[in-house]
Chain A
Amino acid sequence: MPKKLRSPLTPLMSLTKSKLLLLLASFLVSSSVFAQDDLLDILDEVEPQQEETIDYTIATFKTTRLVIGQSVETNSEGVINVLIGHRFGRVNGSAKEFFGLDNATIRLGLEYGITDNLNIGFGRSSFEKTYDGFLKYRVLRQSTGIRKMPLTMTLFASMAIKSQDFADNNRENYFTSRMSYAFQIMLARKFSERLSFQLTPTLIHRNLVATKADKNDVFAVGAGGRVKVSGSVSINAEYNFIIPGQIASTIGGQKVRDSFALGVDIETGGHVFQIHVTNARGIIEKMIISETNGDITKGDIHIGFNISRVFTAYDKNKLRKKREEKRASKAILEG
């Protein structure tokens, strides 16, 4: 019975050595695919890696104001942000003034996101009946991944027009005398989930100043930051340092000082409430930086708050379409 003794491997034996090698190799190749036992390994392989995507840092600050001044944050495209800024009088005012609560100034403001990076804003302050308008543009955005950017940079330019009667009606007054400008370069970095910091070189230009000794241009450097204490609450602080020797005249008998503000941000969905204490009485940059005369050591402190509420003015379908186009163009680029 010689037939029964044939080994099952006999057909393979008829192959030449090289062919056997080829077959073996093919098994090795296919088994190397099988060897990826864990689907998660394959997932890791097919998934876009961190190095392939841009991971933008979000929420460096909760809103477009740090405390009383601007923050690097901009409103996203199609977002309308309604802001109410409110500042009471000084807490060291007498009981007759109800410790400052009788004497309040207010600014009503509106901001709009033309794009995610470009914002336009308007406001009207009761203080000196001032109108203001501004443009804000985010040039750099902090990110990790394929594009590494250590900080966010936002440029700010505003113009303010004081509509209050001129102090001296006997002299010749020009409309341009009512105008002032503020320019800021805001640099911010979110160091961690909790900690963000901002540096703000500022130039204030005033067309009309009180005395010859006062400079029309006032240079200052602002610094501020926030510490997040919970998902919805953060504590923010801000300080604006005026480079000495630029402002000589006094306001209400008090010299112009650096402004300081300490506040708490409370965010509730579409609203952000900011409650703060500060020695500044104005709500726009020119007033905060070049017209603050409160002396903290003497108790010249104002209690204030900002309320901001965002509305989305974007057409839902338009947004969807735009995102689809964006995805399609991305797919073409990758494909």
Chain B
Amino acid sequence: MRNTIFTLAIAVFTFSSASAQKQFTRSANISFFSDTPIEKIEATNHQATSVVDLEKSEMVFSVLMKSFEFEKALMQEHFNEKYVESDKYPKAQFKGIYKSEKPIDLSKDGEYKVTVSGTMSMHGVDKEVASKGIFTVKGGVLKAKSEFNLKLADYKISVPGVVKEQIAEEIKITVDATYEPYKK
């Protein structure tokens, strides 16, 4: 009998430890800002999906372009129709690794400065990117934050001459995600 309990305990332990190392979210916030003297454009996506593997220090992000919400409806339409061409390229994805000085421990509160590097795929273009970010653990909950810039030209997103003054060449992106354990 004792052996059975022991075996079960091992079973449960192996199972749960395997899954706790993977964290995911379906409601990460990804925003972008384009700032020019003429116009400030801001859009937020509250439905980004992300998975982090704490064991392998890997992370992925995926976002549906059509879920970006703009202040002006017409901007949203133009963003999807003319710039990122959402019907042709519905998603933007990031797959990469992070480097942290110490391993991320979910059992105690803490803050981890990380550098993230990997491949960003958007508008049919794959590009190597790197950025700094912060993981925080509070009450066993993992959160991630990052801020970085990207150039529209790198992703072959062309801006017509007439609106060049209104759209920045470099766009600031912020990421804010709160994870939960991934259970199969």
The distance in angstroms between the C-alpha atoms of A14 and B3, with both chains bound, is 9
Q: Please indicate the chain B residues that have their CB under 8 angstroms from the CB of A39 in the complex.
A: 22, 51-53, 58-60, 95
The distance in angstroms between the C-alpha atoms of A16 and B7, with both chains bound, is 11
A243 at the interface (CB under 8 A from B): no
Interface size on B, residues (CB 8 A): 50
Q: Which of B156-183 contact A (CB under 8 A)?
A: 160, 162-163, 166, 182
Please judge, given known A-B contacts A46-B182, A47-B26, A47-B49, whether A269 and B59 are in contact too, CB under 8 Å: no
The distance in angstroms between the C-alpha atoms of A39 and B93, with both chains bound, is 12
A48 at the interface (CB under 8 A from B): yes
A26/B77 in contact, CB under 8 A? no
Which of B67-75, B103-111, B133-141, B143-151 is found at the contact surface with chain A? B67-75
Q: Which of B4-36 contact A (CB under 8 A)?
A: 4, 7-8, 10-12, 14-15, 17-19, 22, 24, 26
The answer, among A22, A46, A310, for a CB contact under 8 Å with B11, is: A22
Q: Please indicate the chain A residues that have their CB under 8 angstroms from the CB of B101 in the complex.
A: none
Please classify how large the interface on chain A is, using the bins under 10, 10 to 19, 20 to 34, 35 or more: 35 or more
B10/A43 in contact, CB under 8 A? no
A269/B163 in contact, CB under 8 A? yes
A283 at the interface (CB under 8 A from B): no
Q: Please indicate the chain A residues that have their CB under 8 angstroms from the CB of B10 in the complex.
A: 23, 26
Q: Please indicate the chain A residues that have their CB under 8 angstroms from the CB of B14 in the complex.
A: 26-27, 30
B72/A33 in contact, CB under 8 A? no
The distance in angstroms between the C-alpha atoms of A22 and B103, with both chains bound, is 32
B81 at the interface (CB under 8 A from A): yes
Q: With both chains docked as a complex, state the minimum distance between the C-beta of B76 and any C-beta of chain A, in angstroms.
A: 8
13 additional A-B pairs beyond A30-B17, A33-B22, beta carbons within 8 Å, are A15-B3, A22-B7, A25-B11, A39-B22, A39-B58, A42-B60, A43-B62, A46-B51, A231-B82, A231-B83, A268-B163, A312-B71, A316-B71
Of the A-B pairs whose beta carbons lie under 8 Å apart in the complex, a sample of 6, sorted by A's number, is: A25-B11, A26-B11, A40-B60, A48-B64, A231-B83, A312-B71
